[in-house]
Structure 1
Amino acid sequence: MPLSPARRPSARSAATAAVVVLALALLGPLLGAPARAGTTGTTGGATAAGRVYGTLQTSPARLAETGAAGVDTATLQVVWRRFEPVEGQVDAAYVAQVREELAAYRAAGRHVVLGTGVQYPPDWLLAYPDSRFVNQYGDAYAPAETGKKVANMVFNQTMRDKQAAYLSRVLATFGTDFWGVRLGGGWYGELNYPEAVYGTRTNAYWGFDRLARGAAPGLPPGVRPNPVPGWVPGTPSPDHAAAAAFAEWYMASLDDYHDWQIATVRRLYPGRLLMMYPSWGVRPGQLDAAVAADLAGTTSAERNGEVQRGFDVARFVGGITDPDVVVYTTWLNADASRDAGTDQRYWSPVRYLAHLARSRTVPLEVMGENTGRDTVEDMALSFEQARRLDLLGVVWAFEPDLFGGVYAGVGDLAAAIAEDRRLSAPTPSSSPTPTASPTPTASPTPTASPTPTTTPTPTASPTPTASPTPTATPTPTTGPTTGPTPPPAPLVVTTDALPRASTALPFSAALDAGGGTGALTWTASGLPQGLGLASTTTGWRLQGRPTATGTSTVVLTVTDATGTRSSRSLPLEVRAAPRVRQRNLPGATSGATYATTLTAEGGWCPCTWRAVQLPPGLTLSGAGELRGTAPAAGTWTVTVEVVDDLGAVGRTSLSLKVSPARLVRSRTLLRSATTTRWSRWTPTQELRLR
């Protein structure tokens, strides 16, 4: 199976999701449903309702079940490190596997979206000089998690050249008859810089490698060196000039990579390009507020990592010149309770992206996917947003979740698609009315929003095709000069997911909240054994080392100085370290070719293999292939380690019994070099049988 990242789950409670769905239904006239942009791409095809329905981590084995549910689009995920394990050499066996998968999707009548797998670079690529991002602390970005091990495509032209060559080979190998191609090029395949929190470092900005600083040649032509190479984020400067120059350069550099991806793939492929925009995004005024604080990590957009990760989506979408780029959110199920308001900082990601895409002279299509491991309520919200904003498609992450019995299931997806088709069908007299959701029991709160100083009041019903006009422009960094002091923003837990955990590794997760008054304190219930709360110099964290496996529902509660509380329930899954499935190795014959493949169980796979002790003549690949020429006869010890996606290690020693080679005696007829007579060679020749 192709690799796909296990992204952070959405953790909205069922009650909140129900409130949001009801709010969207009631506020539909305010939001409107803007006319969809036309596409000039050559690879069309949508449902009768004008929308496609797809899955991530699509499996050929589930085609009948998902097809019966109404899914019509598959995602074909190619993995760079498997496609080209050695530079310039394509793995024929892997290509055959992907072609077989592609043929199955097409035989089932599915549209196919290509995932290029740039987020899974091969080891040889990362061995190039300056191949990794570097932050202001001097840390090179080298995470253990698969899907995050990205190369420095923003500041290194050599990395872009290698990516362009890889993309050319992929499309030459599998063709260009795809419904769309996913772009983004960062970790998890989305458009981004690395994480704002890395190891023990916080407020990490990733523009300090040698090329970015101008200390070595090799920048792409459209990227200039850091204009303030001696300045570090958080350092004051006159009029915040250094922070302003750095912020502009930092965002423009990622924008250059954004545009380069579009132009590069467009030369190879004529159809839709799905550009993946993650998270909430930097909203109007937030970058200016961060600059005014010298990028010290203290503003709301920085605390949530939006600025450090480069999510200046207005810049990206506004600069697109290709009409067949699709603006794609990877957080379709984000809180939408304030989508009818005029303050763009509080709009859900898909609402904001739709506004940007359709405010252009040439509007762009919009579609999206949920975050993964989500509930039936999340699914209902995703489809309600698709109808409200007339999205081109809904992709459900992830297909295995539909069959695991924990999250929204395939039956729920079938019902959601059927309802979407019914409500989206054109009627001669009126627009369809969304089905009402259960009556909410509490007012919804935003998932992760900055703290405003005023509550703008709309003067007219906003639509996504024109910029809304508030009666007072909110200023995130200063209070109003006149009028009464506004009440504080409502207290809300903004931590929306907990990372995966292993009994073999220490665990640490930062907790964050927005709004409220004064100092905050946290409590937690439902924690796995071995974990607890701790107040650190960088804030509150869940930390420790879990001692038992399983999935827990952790309830986080934050309390401010007035006693106001906010809670959120989040799933936390703990797994043991991976184990080698084999207990014995197949026997071998001395001097003969030997090959076997090791497999793992447990842990957070995909896994990587490494050798600790091998007999002479044998090697172990990262994919677990043990091969080579068998050593001398005897019993040998083979010690290997399997490392999962989180870095947890399982070690096993196996016995390899090598039998002696069988011998056969033969007499060979040789022709004399000096006569024409034949003679027998009397010495006995020993031939090894292999």
Structure 2
Amino acid sequence: MRFRALGAGLAGVLLLAGAACPSYADPAPVEPAWGVVDSACAPDRLAAQRGAGLSVAVVDAHWDRLQPRPGAFEPAAAAGLAARVTRCLDAGMRVVLGSGAQYPPSWVRDLPDALLRDQHGGVARTGGVDLVFAAAPRAALDDYLTRLVAAVPATRLTGVRVGTSAAGEIGYPGPHESGYGVTSWWAFGAPAQTGRDLAPGQQPSPLPGWAPGSAQWEGRAVTAVDAGRWFGWYSGALVEALAAQARVLRGAGFAGEVHLPVPGRGVLPADRSVAVGSLLDGHGDRDGSLHRGLDHVAAMPGIAAAVPGPVVVDLTSVDDATAVRARALDPPEDTCRPEDPAVALDPTVRVERWSNLRFARAQAARAGLPVVGENPGPPGETTGGAADSDQEAEQVRRAPGYARNCGLAAFTLAFEEDLHTPRSGVTLADYVAAMLRT
């Protein structure tokens, strides 16, 4: 799970609102653009990074700092964010702004139906706010995003990131994040179940009151078709939530790219069949994707159709733990191949052996979506790096190669701070060496 800011890179030029704006939309970049995640936009660091060939800075906003009370932004926090973004822009960096929706202020958590709830009434220990179904926190977010666009030099930004989870990515909390210690599904607040105070654009449960795994609903047997319809609603609501945030940004006058951070590979097609056949009782959930609502096979085309463009997918799994496992196989299955989009849904192909990046990249390609990426960050921290991920120095060495191999338009390294502090054991020179390696 990531709590430090997340990022993306840049390639190409797109004409937006009558002016030349930087873009990630080049479908066939010769070489990824390189950047860093969570940039401080400090002048000395910017000079070093620009001199080394980096061109992208990811700057993260924080909702709780900008709007600690309902209403207008905190002036000092807004001015500080604008100054930080401007320093990066004036240094020649292309900036992607993390919206900071994953940091809701305490007053938002106190709004009606604000907390995500599972089928047992539990709430997520990570404190996730229901930005998918609940109208009150969604309205607060809409107001925040509108003010955010006004507070920064938005016409100079390359992109703005949106998400639904406490990590700033697409998805619900994990299956074991309830305080009850049970396997959780996260669509059991009143708005999702009854339609009361439901966020605009969403639909209530197609099987109100039904909990996954139950064989009966309203006096009749539940079928696999029912379970598949429920899961399609559950996962599809995430796409609509992202589209709603994008629509607010467009309404506020932001014409640049909307970036969607996408974790993992999502539920695999064979696992989804097992899951719905067992009425979502827990079978087929290989890595928690099912309970998080991550169905990249369906979501990528949904994103392409529903999210007002330009839109860019940011794959946050470049050299994650699945890459470590996949490259240890014989033959290795960690690198992308030209035929992947055509064969990724072939039931005879063992895609469970592929790395997360490889499978997710194939789904984005099938949907025609531009893709950038980033590494998970150091293992053992609340960043996304698992215990069996590569150590950070190895991620710095390997991730740029994966980005180049998979045809990503850009790659940003998590995190900038680690390139400028001795205790991390990695340096800007290490990153540049990996960038230049063929």
Instruction: State the TM bucket, normalised to the shorter chain.
Output: 0.7 to 0.9
Q: Does 1:270 align with 2:255?
A: yes
1:121 aligns with 2:100: no
Q: Distance in 1 between matches of 2:215 and 2:278?
A: 8
Give the corresponding residue for 1:294.
279
- Read off the aligned partner of 2:401 and give its amino acid letter: E
1:355-402 per-residue CA deviation (whole Å, 9 max, x = no partner) reads: 222223xx2211100001143332333212222222111011111222
**Do the aligned partners of 1:134 and 1:209 also contact (CA within 8 Å) in 2?**
yes
C-alpha deviations, 1:634-672, integer Å up to 9, x for none? xxxxxxxxxxxxxxxxxxxxxxxxxxxxxxxxxxxxxxx
For the structure 1 residues 357 and 280, does the alpha-carbon distance in structure 2 shift closer, same or farther, using more than 3 Å as the test?
Answer: closer
Does the CA contact (< 8 Å) of 2:14 and 2:23 recur in 1? Answer: no
Matched, 1:324 2:307: no
**Distance in structure 2 (CA, Å) of the matches to 1:411 and 1:254:** 39
What aligned pairs does 1:26-175 form with structure 2 within 5 A after superposition? 41=16, 42-44=20-22, 50-61=31-42, 62-141=45-124, 143=125, 148-175=126-153
Q: Residues of 1 paired with 2:60 and 2:193: CA distance?
A: 35
Go from structure 1 to structure 2 and tell me whether the alpha carbon gap of 1:94 and 1:7 turns closer, same or farther (over 3 Å shift): closer
Aligned partners of 2:47, 2:271: CA distance in 1, in Å? 47
- SS at structure 2 position matched to 1:331: coil
| Equivalent residue runs for 1:4-23 within 5 Å | 5-6=3-4
Give the structure 1 partner of residue 270 of structure 2. 285
Select 1:353's aligned residue among 321, 337, 360: 360
Partner of 1:204: 184
Looking at structure 2, the residues matched to 415 and 383 of structure 1 have their Cα atoms a distance apart, in angstroms, of 10
**Counterpart of 1:411 in 2: which secondary structure?**
helix
Indicate which of 408, 411, 416 corresponds to 2:426: 408
Between the aligned partners of 1:241 and 1:407, the Cα distance in structure 2 is 52
SS at match of 1:285: helix
Shift of 1:129: 0.8
Give, as a single letter, the amino acid of the residue that structure 2 aligns with 1:204: S
**Which residue of structure 2 aligns with residue 261 of structure 1?**
245
**Is the contact between residue 70 and residue 417 of structure 1 (CA under 8 Å) also seen in structure 2?**
no
Q: Deviations over 1:560-612 (max 9, x none)?
A: xxxxxxxxxxxxxxxxxxxxxxxxxxxxxxxxxxxxxxxxxxxxxxxxxxxxx
Cα shift readout 1:49-84 (whole Å, capped 9, x = no counterpart): 553211112123332333333322111211111111
- Give the deviation of 1:172 after TM superposition: 0.9
Q: Which has the larger radius of gyration?
A: 1
In terms of fraction of residues, the more helix-rich structure is 2
Answer yes or no: is the 8 Å Cα contact 2:403–2:410 preserved in 1.
yes
Contact 1:40/1:323 (CA < 8 Å) preserved in 2?
A: no
Indicate the percent of aligned positions where both proteins have the same amino acid. Answer: 28
Contact in 2 for aligned 1:40/1:324 (Cα 8 Å) = no
Name the amino acid aligned to 2:153: G
What do the CA deviations read for 1:475-527 (whole angstroms, capped 9, x no partner)?
xxxxxxxxxxxxxxxxxxxxxxxxxxxxxxxxxxxxxxxxxxxxxxxxxxxxx
CA contact (8 A) 1:43 1:272 kept: no
Mean Cα deviation higher: 76-85 or 191-200: 191-200
Gaps in structure 1 of 5+ consecutive residues: 9-35, 420-433, 435-690
Tell me by how many angstroms 1:242 deviates.
4.3
2:376 maps to 371
- Report the Cα distance in structure 2 between the residues aligned to 1:231 and 1:105, rounded to whole angstroms: 50
Question: 1:666-685, aligned counterparts within 5 Å?
Answer: none
How far did residue 131 of structure 1 move? 0.6
* Deviation at residue 279 of structure 1 after TM alignment: 2.0
Alpha-carbon deviations, 1:449-486, whole Å to 9, x = none? xxxxxxxxxxxxxxxxxxxxxxxxxxxxxxxxxxxxxx
Give the corresponding residue for 1:213. 193
Query: What code does the residue aligned with 1:5 have?
Result: F
Shift of 1:272: 1.5
Q: Contact between 1:116 and 1:182, CA under 8 Å: does it hold in 2?
A: yes
Moved more, 398-407 or 249-258: 398-407
- CA 183–404 in structure 1, closer or farther in 2 if over 3 Å, else same: farther
Shift of 1:248: 2.1
Q: Which amino acid aligns with 1:265?
A: L
1:569 aligned residue: none
- C-alpha separation in 2, matches of 1:326 and 1:400: 25
Give the deviation of 1:258 after TM superposition: 2.4
Q: Distance in 1 between matches of 2:247 and 2:264?
A: 24
- The whole-number CA distance in structure 1 between the counterparts of 2:13 and 2:55 is 21
Contact 1:284-1:344 at 8 Å conserved across structures: no
- The 5 A counterparts of 1:596-607 are none
1:435-474 residue pairs with structure 2 within 5 A? none
How many residues matched? 380
Instruction: Give CA-to-partner distance per residue, 1:185-224, whole Å, 9 cap, x none.
Output: 321110111121023523210011111110x611124322
Query: Is contact 2:171–2:293 with CA below 8 Å preserved after alignment?
Result: yes
Residue of structure 1 equivalent to 2:231: 247
Say which is worse superposed, 190-199 or 224-233, in terms of deviation: 224-233
For 2:121, the aligned partner's letter is: G
Tell me the SS of whatever aligns to 2:291.
Answer: coil
Shift of 1:113: 1.0
Counterpart Cα distance in 1 of 2:113 and 2:434: 47
Q: Is 1:297–1:303's contact at 8 Å kept on the other side of the alignment?
A: no
Q: 1:407 to 1:332 in 2, by over 3 A?
A: farther
TM-score, scaled relative to structure 1: 0.52
AA aligned opposite 2:183: N
SS for the counterpart of 1:134 is coil
The corresponding residue for 1:188 is 167
Residue matched to 1:333: 319
C-alpha distance in 2 between matches for 1:38 and 1:91: 34
SS at match of 1:119: coil
Query: Which stretches of structure 1, 4 residues or longer, exceed 6 Å deviation after superposition?
Result: 45-48
Alignment of 1:384-399 (within 5 A): 384-399=401-416
1:221-249: CA deviations, max 9, x gaps?
A: 43222222332222235434543332122
1: distance between equivalents of 2:361 and 2:15?
Answer: 19
Q: Which residue of 1 aligns with 2:385?
A: none
Distance 1:40 1:333 in 2: 33
**Structure-1 residue corresponding to 2:383:** none
Residue 423 of structure 2: SS of its match in structure 1? Answer: coil
For structure 2, the 5+ residue unaligned runs are 327-331, 341-348, 379-390
> 1:45: how far off?
6.2
Task: Select the structure with the greater relative contact order (CA < 8 A; seq sep ≥ 6).
Answer: 2
Deviations 1:525-556 (A, max 9, x none): xxxxxxxxxxxxxxxxxxxxxxxxxxxxxxxx
Q: Return the match for 2:287 from 287, 304, 326.
A: 304
Q: What code does the residue aligned with 2:352 have?
A: R
In 2, Cα distance between the equivalents of 1:278 and 1:385?
16
Offset, 1:265: 2.1
Aligned partner of 1:203: which letter?
A: T
Indicate the residue corresponding to 1:382 in structure 2.
399
| TM value normalised by structure 2 | 0.79
Query: Counterparts of 1:290-689 in structure 2 under 5 Å?
Result: 290-299=275-284, 302-319=285-302, 320-321=304-305, 322-334=308-320, 335=323, 336=326, 337-338=332-333, 339=335, 342-360=349-367, 363-373=368-378, 374-402=391-419, 403-419=421-437, 434=438
Structure-1 residue corresponding to 2:203: 224
Deviation at 1:120, TM superposition (A): 0.5
- Contact conserved, 1:328 with 1:367, CA < 8 A, in 2? yes
Decide whether aligned partners of structure 1 residues 375 and 232 sit closer, same or farther in structure 2, where only a CA change above 3 A counts: same
